[in-house]
Amino acid sequence: MSLTSQIKEYALNIGYSKIGIIPAEDFPEYIEDLTKRSDMYGFYVKSPNRPLAVADLKSLMPTAKSIITTVYDYAQKGFPKELTNKIGRVYQARSYDPPSEYINGARPELMRTFLRKLGCEVGENIILPERLVAAKAGITNYGRNSFAYAEGIGSFIYLKSFIVDKELEYDNPTMKEVCPEGCSACMKACPTKAIYEPHKINPPRCIAFNTFLTQERIAGSYIQPEIREKMGTKIQGCDICQEVCPLNQERLKSKLPDDEYLVKVARDFSLSQVLNMTDNFYETRVQPLLFNYIKERKYFQRNAAIALGNQGDPAFVPNLAIAMDDPEELVRGYAAWALGKIGGRSASQVLVDNLSKETSESVKTEIRQALATIKISDEQN
């Protein structure tokens, strides 16, 4: 059996759905696109990931000869309805860059170990344009929502590549769009119009991007009020453009076996618990599920405050009142906004009571704006 065949069979054996291989070459089209849209992607271009470094791949790994790329189908089990309106499926599936102690984190480690046993040197910590790599390897195509689509699966997939120093047998690219002719369902469904033209997303307008806004990712980490109102109950990720896609309907409508872990989590997972989370809730419900982009609990609390505000239910005013005493001004500020969204006499009283004792100017601003919102709403009624 050839080296290429051994690699491909092993990848399928440990749970990858598809595997392809391309030469280790630069990605000029990727660099050009990022550079042209630097106003939208500046946060990423300037990040420690150094995505533009792949313009000179051999400088990152002089011995690189091949890129092995894989598709993992993370939607093989069902997702509880109680969670899908709050958390993107790839995060529920614990598939997006998980720690090695998770099964989906162990799989890439198994792959690296196997490649090394075959005598391959494997590149480390090199960020690749995974969707472009997978399309060049012929294992995915493109959708107008910019997601990668694998034949027979759809877009609920996770891509992972491995750079090695061996010349292998290379696959033919697909590099084509698979959307039905004239379809614009994803663009129409996006609440913030982040998909501003086919294959083009403006990250700062994307709900998923905003749920991940942290001081570490982008200076300020401020979510614009206009975007907050469009986030609904999302606290990590957003699947709207994938949920409306005709290419995903067969999978979405299929009766899949339950993920018993998610069933258990869904029983005691609520936005109010995320907002005012205990150490135990954080350690047993948040960290094991939402370990990707956000490392500090205050950002989960912020997202939960927005989600509660968007529900507009006065029943959540007591929960938000507790959050107004949180030590983190970020949490207090967004809780104030949420109270303004809910409105009513009790929400207004909580805001008034907290304005007099608040020490943060940014939180005071949020409180005043929330009170103004409630006043305007009362006058209109």
pLDDT digits 0-9 by tens, 176-200:
899 999 999 999 999 999 999 999 9
Pairwise CA distance, residues 226 & 230, whole Å: 7
Let me know whether 103 and 206 are in one domain: yes
Let me know whether 76 and 195 are in one domain: yes
Which residues, in sequence order, are CB contacts of 315 under 8 Å at separation 6+? none
pLDDT, tens digit (0-9, with 9 covering 90-100), for 130-162: 999 999 999 999 999 999 999 999 999 999 999
Residue 220: what pLDDT?
A: 65
- State which of 246, 267, 288 marks the end of a domain: 267
Let me know whether 214 and 282 are in one domain: no
Count of domains for the chain: 2
Beta bridge partners, 164, equal 66, 122
Q: Is the dihedral of CA 252, 258, 262, 265 positive or negative?
A: positive
Confidence band, pLDDT 50/70/90 cuts, at residue 381? low
Do residues 98 and 92 lie in contact, with contact meaning Cβ atoms separated by under 8 Å? no
pLDDT, tens digit (0-9, with 9 covering 90-100), for 239-290: 999 999 999 999 999 999 999 999 999 999 999 999 999 999 999 999 999 9
Beta bridge partners, 197, equal 200
What are the tokens at 292? Answer: 């990707």
What are the tokens at 370? Answer: 């929330």
Pairwise CA distance, residues 210 & 234, whole Å: 10
Pairwise CA distance, residues 278 & 221, whole Å: 24
Let me know whether 101 and 227 are in one domain: yes
Let me know whether 33 and 116 are in one domain: yes
Let me know whether 155 and 284 are in one domain: no
Q: What pTM value is reported for the model?
A: 0.94
Let me know whether 62 and 148 are in one domain: yes
- State which of 267, 288, 311 marks the end of a domain: 267
Find the CATH number of the domain harbouring 320: 1.25.10.10
Domain assignment of residue 278, given as a range: 270-381
Let me know whether 232 and 274 are in one domain: no
